[in-house]
């Protein structure tokens, strides 16, 4: 299992004409060029490999380029036509949700996502660099502050597929926080998008979207095993 964490100073000044969506890089060359500016003549400053999940930020829906933040800390522009927005995947729908539990079900897949009310009593956080750590896990979603009782914390994810269970436990999830009251009043865990194709299952979400401390998190399940986790702050 691979875990990628990228922390960035987050500036959420998202205008009404700015859009963001998740997708997979796909190019016949096996990678796509990352450019300094929003045109094909701009300087190439890096590459992004196929099957990498990115958050494509568009200044407007008809934009031909996405702005992306990468795990390395580098950001730039990629050609939008090189992003597969999970169009050949089946989307598993939300069946029911409360503040602390969300259930997605369909096409032989069931995903249960649990969050718990956070209690900071007797919990020690370690400050390192520009953020905080809890039990060795970087804390996300609190705008570089220690979480308090106003936050929920991811507790467990259960996935049932092909008569097999995959459990992502608290020890892996304990760094992921989000406000008890979201900006739109909806449960944050109900906003996960769940996609499946064959033996590839993706859970993607942007927690606290539109607020300070917003971040993206992606869980990739392959062949009924946790393959990769990515989490990074989004800078618009």
> What does the pLDDT read at residue 210?
58
Q: Domain segments of the chain: what residues?
A: 14-84, 90-233
User: What DSSP state is assigned to residue 43?
Assistant: P
Determine how many CB atoms are found less than 10 A away from the CB of residue 170: 14
Handedness of CA 15, 189, 230, 80 (dihedral sign): negative
93 membership: H or E segment, kind and range: strand 90-97
Domain spanning 14-84: which CATH class is it, in words?
mainly beta
Give whole-number Cα distances, 2 to 147, 179, 218, 225, 230, in Å. Answer: 26, 27, 11, 11, 8
Helical H runs in the chain?
170-173
Distance separating alpha carbons of residues 35 and 44, to the nearest angstrom: 4
Distance CA 232, CA 120 (A): 23
The pLDDT score that the predictor gives to residue 105 is 97
pLDDT digits over 142-193, tens only? 988 899 888 999 999 999 998 899 999 999 999 999 988 877 778 899 999 9
* Amino acid 209: pLDDT: 64
Which parts of the chain sit beneath pLDDT 50? 4-18
Per-residue pLDDT, 84: 96
């Amino acid at each position: 299992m691979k875990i990628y964490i990228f922390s960035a100073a987050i500036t959420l000044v998202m205008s009404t004409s700015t859009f963001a969506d998740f997708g997979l890089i796909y190019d016949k060359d096996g990678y796509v060029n990352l450019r300094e500016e929003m045109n094909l003549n701009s300087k190439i400053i890096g590459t992004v490999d196929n099957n990498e999940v990115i958050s494509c930020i568009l200044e407007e829906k008809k934009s031909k380029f996405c702005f992306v933040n990468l795990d390395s800390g580098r950001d730039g522009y990629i050609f939008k036509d090189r992003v597969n927005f999970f169009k050949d995947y089946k989307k598993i729908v939300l069946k029911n949700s409360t503040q602390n539990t969300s259930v997605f079900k369909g096409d032989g897949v069931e995903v249960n996502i649990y969050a718990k009310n956070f209690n900071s009593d007797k919990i020690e956080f370690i400050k390192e660099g520009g953020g905080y750590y809890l039990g060795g896990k970087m804390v996300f979603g609190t705008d570089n502050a220690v979480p308090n009782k106003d936050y929920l914390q991811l507790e467990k994810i259960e996935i049932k597929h092909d008569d097999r269970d995959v459990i992502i436990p608290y020890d892996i999830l304990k760094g992921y926080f989000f406000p008890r009251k979201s900006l739109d009043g909806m449960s944050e865990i109900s906003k996960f998008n769940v996609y499946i194709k064959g033996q590839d299952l993706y859970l993607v979400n942007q927690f606290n979207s539109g607020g300070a401390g917003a971040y993206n998190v992606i869980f990739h399940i392959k062949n009924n095993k946790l393959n990769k986790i990515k989490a990074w702050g989004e800078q618009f």
